[in-house]
Structure 1
């Protein structure tokens, strides 16, 4: 039987890299906070490890510590052996299921930043902040300043060729597009426009085979219209295992600075609100939370800001996140301690 020292040992969850602080009573496994909050064990009863160890000792039952090889004392009878073997098999099955629900981020990470800086004071602050973030997350970031309308397409296609030329496994791709814009349109440094949907399609599962089934993140920092939001005053009172055909548009994530038809806001000294808040939130939480949790926090941060303008009116802004991800996406680099 495992003692309290064994159950309380400092071990990490194989799926999330977090300490195993809890014991799932349903599956008889050590689990981390993420397993309980949003993982496979979120609806299971659980105890903290200390309490589980006490109960195990009091009831004189066999407790199975997670994350170590199971060594069975020779005194255990056949009945106990069968029960323990079944529990170990159940543990292995759960680990395998975790692997299918979380993107494998052990491969190379590539990023492309296309940014029109001309006439967009503060853009360099955004480039600097994003480059810091990509460095921390282990992304190799290719930066292109002042692309023309046609240059956006040309540089993205060159990036796709670079991706396709890699022999090693690529686990994630991040594309940042920053410019003036209109609904569905980016404006290049030469005043020519490019359709956002054309850029997105260039990287989908059909057109970029190297990224089939791989998370593709698009971060757009551009106005989506001319509307401004003054805000309102209020009173508070999974995919089939039988399918082997991958849909064309899966595994993508799109992050916009505002709702369709609305402006986005940028400080001429500090950079855009979305980029700066996103970098801040991601740097604080990428070791612990998956990307959709991080983006929920980004939306909360941005929407909580009162944005002053030249006409003395204060406005609000709400980023928009759209995605077709099929698994949880954790950006923590492989091997990094929590």
Structure 2
């Protein structure tokens, strides 16, 4: 346990990258706020560091004379006495477990951006913003403008070949698909369509061995229908090891710009609402938060926006995130300090 007077030193949680401000009494570990709020220790009793240090000193005062005694009364319960060595060993064990629960990002990061710009004013602003994000996150990003319906498949298969040619050194791939769309499909620059599921399957664990067990992120900026959401008025009251057999569809993350059946919104000058908010949130928080925390903030910010339409009405939009990730995913480039 880190002493309260030592908290000035940057002691950070290895799972969440946040300061270790609490002490879990169940596991005898220093933990951060996220560990307590929604992590492995959320149901465990805990103390803040100052309280924990006081309790430790009180226990040490009891432990010292007991260690000098030759024998203890049969009724004496020694279960609460934990040596410093045992505590350190338990901390090391838990931290090692936490490492297993975080995706390894020490290898290469590859991205593919397929964007129909024809008839989609503002698309270039999205490409520019995403390219800035990928640069900061250490991704090598391939950009293809105005793919046809068949071109989406062809370019994605070429990207998969590029990934496979680099072998097992790949840590993650990020695929961005931007176009007009309908439920389950994208519309290419030539008006022909491509099935989204076919694109997803091309990169799954079965079809892309180089990415088996590694995170595959898909960001889809496209309409998924013609419905619009006017919003509603409301009132409020005052982790396990990798299996020997890996399922086909694990380790994927899908980010849709709208709910199924609904339109997506894009400014003709500033770009898409989702893309612009996502880039802003990720650039501010990628050193501190894992990707699902970042996306939760993106969803909140997008859903708070009142979107004006041409007939002066307002609409709402809610991105959709679906995932089969098995570990925490941090986008922080390897070696970068928090």
TM-score interval for Structure 1 and Structure 2 normalised by the shorter chain: 0.7 to 0.9
Contiguous gaps of at least 5 residues in structure 2: 71-77
Question: How far did 1:326 drift?
Answer: 1.2
Partner of 1:278: 278
Question: Structure 1 length normalisation: TM-score?
Answer: 0.88
Partner of 2:20: 20
Partner of 1:211: 211
Give SS of 1:223's match.
coil
Q: Per-residue CA shift, 1:268-298, capped at 9, x if unaligned? A: 0000011111111111222222111111111
Question: How far did 1:61 drift?
Answer: 5.6
- Contact 1:8/1:49, CA 8 A, preserved across alignment: no
Distance 2:160 2:280 in 1: 28
Distance 1:291 1:99 in 2: 16
Aligned residues: CA RMSD: 2.7
Question: How far did 1:5 drift?
Answer: 4.3
Aligned length: 326
Q: Per-residue CA shift, 1:143-174, capped at 9, x if unaligned? A: 11111111111110111011111145211111
Distance 1:99 1:51 in 2: 28
Q: Per-residue CA shift, 1:26-47, capped at 9, x if unaligned? A: 2222223332233222222223
Q: Per-residue CA shift, 1:106-142, capped at 9, x if unaligned? A: 2211111001111110001101111111112111111
Distance 1:10 1:49 in 2: 14
Q: Per-residue CA shift, 1:16-62, capped at 9, x if unaligned? A: 33332322222222223332233222222223333333433344369
Distance 2:333 2:265 in 1: 31
Contiguous gaps of at least 5 residues in structure 1: 64-74
Query: Which moves more between the two structures, 263-272 or 180-189?
Result: 180-189
Matched, 1:191 2:199: no
Using a 3 Å threshold, how does the CA distance of structure 1 residues 201 and 77 change in structure 2: closer, same or farther? farther
Give SS of 1:105's match.
coil
Question: Structure 2 length normalisation: TM-score?
Answer: 0.88
- Contact 1:186/1:193, CA 8 A, preserved across alignment: yes
Partner of 2:75: none
Distance 2:68 2:125 in 1: 65
- Contact 1:111/1:139, CA 8 A, preserved across alignment: yes
Using a 3 Å threshold, how does the CA distance of structure 1 residues 324 and 84 change in structure 2: closer, same or farther? same
Distance 2:259 2:103 in 1: 28
Using a 3 Å threshold, how does the CA distance of structure 1 residues 61 and 94 change in structure 2: closer, same or farther? farther
Using a 3 Å threshold, how does the CA distance of structure 1 residues 337 and 243 change in structure 2: closer, same or farther? closer
Distance 2:88 2:304 in 1: 47
